[in-house]
Amino acid sequence: MTFENKILIITAPSGAGKTSITKHLLKTFPQLSFSISAATREKRVHETDGVDYYFISPADFQQKIRDNEFIEWEMVYEGTYYGTLKSELQRIWSRQQLPVLDIDVKGAIHVQQQYPGGCLSLFIEPPSIDELKRRLMSRGTETEETLQARVNKAAYEISFKQHFDRIIVNDDLSRACQEAEAIIRSFIGLP
Ligand code: 5GP
């Protein structure tokens, strides 16, 4: 199978376990390659520029918007831009690999609109809003206010789940990973 113009999108509300599932799939299938987004937020300690994100300034980001360099971009959090560069997809396709986009729900819908027929989109759903609340609280990074904001945002994002090809309920991480694996196997034409 050739992967030209094919895209794997993995999307979810925050706290649903999207990053763990994405990492598992990247380890399992050498045909997949993580699509490195451009972002304007501060780099975290364990992150590497050009590996986790292309960290750029808001001014550079805005210039790239004007130059039409993005497939999609969003202000995911107040004041912070994230976007998928066309050049990134070309880089991955030119290596005969399938790009994996770990992006927010709005961005995922935009990519699907631009590549009708070329995308496989997975929506990772938390088992319940209460469970999501528990997971976010156990991270210990949320105040009562930010917790409520994230939970409200998640409930809103879950309302878009029917826009995606497959919905995977992450009630158990290893089961969810297996389900995702089987879907990808069939998408990339493996037995
Ligand atoms: P974080 O800052 O925690 O790495 O990511 C925040 C959110 O931004 C995550 O939900 C992530 O999936 C999303 N995100 C990362 N890259 C992109 C992108 O290129 N476009 C969009 N729309 N969302 C992105």
Does residue 14 lie within any of the structural domains?
A: yes
pTM for the model stands at 0.94
Q: How far away, in angstroms, is 31 Cα from ligand 1 center? A: 22
What is the tally of structural domains in the chain?
1
The answer to whether the beta carbons of residues 180 and 168 sit under 8 Å apart is: yes
pLDDT in tens, 72-100: 999 988 889 999 999 999 999 999 999 99
Most ligand 1 atoms within 8 A of CB, residue of 11, 37, 157 to mutate: 37
Query: What's the rounded Cα separation, in Å, for the pair 125 and 122?
Result: 9
Ligand 1: atom nearest CA of 18 is: 12
Residue 133 vs residues 13, 44, 113, 153, 168: alpha-carbon distances, Å: 12, 24, 31, 12, 19
The residues, ordered by sequence, that sit 6+ positions from 13 with a Cβ below 8 Å of its Cβ are 105, 126, 132, 153, 154, 155, 157, 158
Q: What confidence score (pLDDT) does residue 78 get? A: 81
Q: Which two tokens stand for residue 58?
A: 């808001």
Q: What confidence score (pLDDT) does residue 113 get? A: 95
**CB of 40 shorter than 6 A to ligand 1:** no
Does residue 2 lie within any of the structural domains?
A: no
Number of H helices and number of E strands within the chain? 7, 9
Nearest CA to ligand 1 atom 2: 41
Q: Which portions of the chain are predicted below pLDDT 70? A: 1
Ligand 1: atom nearest CA of 52 is: 4
Q: What confidence score (pLDDT) does residue 142 get? A: 81
Q: Which domain holds residue 176?
A: 7-188
Does residue 1 lie within any of the structural domains?
A: no
Ligand 1: atom nearest CA of 37 is: 19
Does residue 168 lie within any of the structural domains?
A: yes
CATH number assigned to the domain comprising residue 65: 3.40.50.300
